[in-house]
Amino acid sequence: MHLFISLALACLSSIQPVWALLDHRATSDVPPYVLEYAPLVWLHSQETYMPSDIQQQVDHTRPNVNWTIIEGVQSPLNLNNLDTLNSMGNTSVYLTSLEGIEANPEPAWFRGIRPDSQGRIGNGTGSVIVIADRGNGTVDAFYFYFYAFNKGGKVLGLEFGDHIGDWEHNMIRFVNGTPDAIWYSQHASGQAFTYAAVEKKDKRPYVYSARGTHANYAIAGKHDHTIPGFNLPAGFLMDYTDRGVLWDPVLNVYTCTYDNTTAAFKAVNSNDPVAWLDFNGRWGDDQPPNEPSIFGEAKNVAGPNGPKFKGLDRELVCPSKPCFVLPFRIFAVNATS
C-alpha cells in the first residue's frame, strides 16, 4: 500500500498544467474553461484494461449484422467514414472483433495503452470532448473516455458483463463559464454532484475509474451498484477504485460541438474526424448466440453504443429523472480486493 501511495504521488507531481501539454488538436475555439476544469482520471492500481485508441477499435474489428460480415464496406474503414455503416444495418451493426471475446491468448489490443508519467496514452486518442451550448449562458461539456474491453464483475464467484468496447463519461454543466455540477457515469446509471463537492487537483475534478468496468466514481474505495446511484460500501455487485495510474484525457483528445436542435456534430479543429460520432451501431461484438445466462445476466454481453446515445441534449445534469445533485461525497476506505 505504501508503494502504491508513493507511486501515485510521484505520478501526480509530474502532471503539468493542461495548457503546457495540451494536444495540438485542441484549439483556441474551445472555451478555455472546458479545458481548465477538465477531469483527471485515476485508473485502478490493478487495472488491466487501459484507455484505448478509438481508431484502433475500428482497425481490429469488422462490421457485422447478426454475426455476418457486411459486404461492400468502404475500405479502409475509419473515423471519417464510420457513419456510412448506418445505411448498411443502422443500429444492428456491431464492430465485431476478429479474434472473439473468448480468444485465448487474449488479444493485446484489448489492454489499451498505459498512460505515461505525464498522463498521456502515447499517440493514441482515447477521449472526445463534446461541447453543447444550451443557451442562456449554460454550456454542457461532455468528457468521453474509451476502453477496448470491459471486464465485468463477479457475483458469488460467477463473472457477468464482459464486453468489447466501453464508453464512459463525465459531464460538467457550466453557467456563465463557471462549473456548477458534474455527472459521473456508472454502468446504466450514475451520480451527480455539485462541482464544489468533488475532490480536485487545483480546478480539475478527480474521477476514480473502477477496475475492469471503468465506471466513474467521485471517491476511492468500494462501491456496490446493486442499487444504482447509492454507492454503498458493501453488497453483491462491487466496483473497486483507488489511486493507481493517473490519466489526463485532454492530452490526446478530439473536440467537437453538438447542436441540440439539429443533433449535428461539428469538429472544432478541421483535422479531427467527426463522422464517427454519427455511427448508430455498437462498438464491440454482439452477445454471442446461445450465451448462457442466470436471471437474465450473461458473462459475455453486447458492446455499447457511442456518445450520441448518452443524453447529449439532457435537460438536467443527469441523463434521466429523477436527478439528485449531491452537495457532498461520502469517503470510503481504500480497497483493492
The low-confidence residues of the chain, meaning pLDDT below 50, are 1-21, 25-27, 331-337
Q: Residue 242's pLDDT is what?
A: 97
**Are 197 and 182 in contact, with CB atoms under 8 Å apart?**
no
Q: What type of residue sits at position 327? A: P
CB atoms within 10 A of CB 7: 15
- Classify 197 as helix, strand or coil: helix
**Are 148 and 164 in contact, with CB atoms under 8 Å apart?**
yes
Give the bridge partners for 175, in sequence order: 138, 178
Q: Residue 59's pLDDT is what?
A: 98
Give the predicted TM-score (pTM) of the model: 0.90
For the chain, give the mean pLDDT.
88
Cα angle 231, 237, 239 (rounded to 5 degrees) comes to: 60
Q: Residue 55's pLDDT is what?
A: 98
What nine digits make up the cell of 196?
Answer: 464544489
Per-domain residue ranges of the chain = 32-326
Q: Is the peptide bond before 105 cis (omega within 30 degrees of 0)?
A: yes
Closest CA to 247 of 42, 36, 34: 42
CB atoms within 10 A of CB 92: 15
What nine digits make up the cell of 215?
Answer: 465506471
Name the DSSP letter for residue 9: H
Q: Residue 232's pLDDT is what?
A: 65
Residue that the C-alpha cell 462501491 belongs to = 223
Q: Is the dihedral of CA 243, 245, 246, 252 positive or negative?
A: negative
Closest CA to 231 of 180, 192, 204: 192
Closest CA to 331 of 226, 233, 189: 233
The pLDDT tens digits of the residues spanning 183-214 come to: 999 998 899 999 999 999 999 999 999 999 99
Closest CA to 283 of 82, 139, 71: 82
CB atoms within 10 A of CB 291: 13
Q: Residue 159's pLDDT is what?
A: 79
| Residue positions counted in the chain | 337
Cα angle 145, 87, 82 (rounded to 5 degrees) comes to: 35
